[in-house]
Amino acid sequence: MTGTDRSATPTFAPLLGVDELVSPPPELAETALVPDYDALYARALADPEGFWSEIARELEWERTPERTLDWDGTTARWFVGGRCNITINCLDRHLRGERRDKPAIIWLGEDGAERRFTYAELHRLVCKFASGLKELGVATGDRVCIYLPLTPEGVAAMLACARIGAVHSVTYAGIGAGALRARIEDAGARTIITADVGYRRGKAIPLKPVVDEAIAGLDGVERVIVWRREPGAPVRSQAAGGPREIDLAELLTGASPRCEPAIVDAEDPLFLLYTSGTTGRPKGPLYVHGGYQVGVSYFTRIAYDFKDDDIYWCTSDIGWIVGHSAMVYGPLLNGVTVLVREGTPDYPDPGVCWRTVERYGVTSLFTAPTTLRMFMKFGEAHPAASDLSSLRLLICAGEPLN
């Protein structure tokens, strides 16, 4: 995005003591999806309902909204009368054209392991996952807690919940049992999806024991779905009288690869995502199908300047809102190829990030200033050792870049 009118752009000078506008290189500005951000912003201010109605028409709806916005001064209802399911726009519509066989997700492990899913393959996995959840009795409106590492299974679990109209509540797979319990309890989750372990810095980090501790004596949890990654992991480990434990591999093996999306109201809930709790009790904002799919698809497209041939790498985690919007829903709504890597960006060595950019031809890298400061500490030799000519954009968010 380009533009020079600072009156249309908020300044953080009082907060940071910095007031700088970074202009993009001319060759980048010339090919940007939004050549004049100030004009776009002015148009949205002049006719917000018309603006967002036009954006909404770019997506598929089972029933077109009757009105863009109902606003009574305190409560907003977006895309009134519209019926939809976000997974139709993340997956199904891409299967009707060339994106069907395009990579949707490229997953990497710290040990160099690689798994790829085209849009058609991801659609199949999501439908099998969704079918399995339905067979277990998970229904529209049910709350499902997801405590999984950054893997295709984590992404598929989110989309499978959305597919059947269940409300997912993803918790970062690093948070402790007490915090996890509080989120399960507050959400009213009856189903938990987890793994035996996640991998970080070459070590297997136990996850299932954290879940076991979190739900001990907790009424309401009916089932725990476990993805077993470690060889020799026990088939069943639940306590007597506890919730039913289901092996994810067994669930997917017997599940149908066909699962029609639950058509929900635009204002029906899509997911809960709890705040970190650093400023008090964690709060669980609720996001809805209609407004979220319109807003996040458009925002990520123009802010990250998505191109159809992008290889886009986001270093966040599905446990955070950046992971939801900038790693999962935003890119998939736009048909982009997303690269995700489990573990830390400096393991097994500080050069692995830049070698990954070179190996996969990464065009856009989304990360946090903290990560960049870490790379600065390692010096310039590591990025200089790799060919970074494919990298078009470096995107930073989450904190000040100072």
What b/e sequence results for 156-174 when a residue is b if at least 16 CB atoms lie within 10 Å of its CB, and e otherwise? bbbbbbbbbbbbbbbbbbe
Type of residue found at 141 = G
pLDDT of residue 277: 77
Sign (positive or negative) of CA dihedral 291, 296, 298, 303: positive
Encode pLDDT of 41-96 as tens digits: 999 999 999 999 999 999 999 999 999 999 999 999 999 999 999 999 999 999 99
Q: What is the mean pLDDT of residues 268-287?
A: 91
* Residue 265 in this model has a pLDDT that exceeds 60: yes
Compute φ and ψ for 109, nearest 5 degrees: -100, 165
What b/e sequence results for 248-263 when a residue is b if at least 16 CB atoms lie within 10 Å of its CB, and e otherwise? beebbeebeeebebbb
| Residue 329 near residue 293, CB atoms below 8 Å | yes
* Residue 12 in this model has a pLDDT that exceeds 90: no
* Residue 167 in this model has a pLDDT that exceeds 60: yes
What is 47-344's CATH topology?
Answer: Rossmann fold (3.40.50)
Residue 233 — pLDDT band, cuts 50, 70, 90? low
Residue 170 — pLDDT band, cuts 50, 70, 90? very high
pLDDT of residue 21: 74
- The span from the CA of 138 to the CA of 30, in Å, is 49
pTM beyond 0.95, yes or no:
no
Q: What is the mean pLDDT of residues 111-119?
A: 97
* Residue 19 in this model has a pLDDT that exceeds 80: no
* Residue 381 in this model has a pLDDT that exceeds 80: yes
pLDDT of residue 402: 76
With tokens 């309902």, the residue in question is 49
- Whether the bond between 24 and the residue before it is cis, its omega within 30 degrees of 0, is no
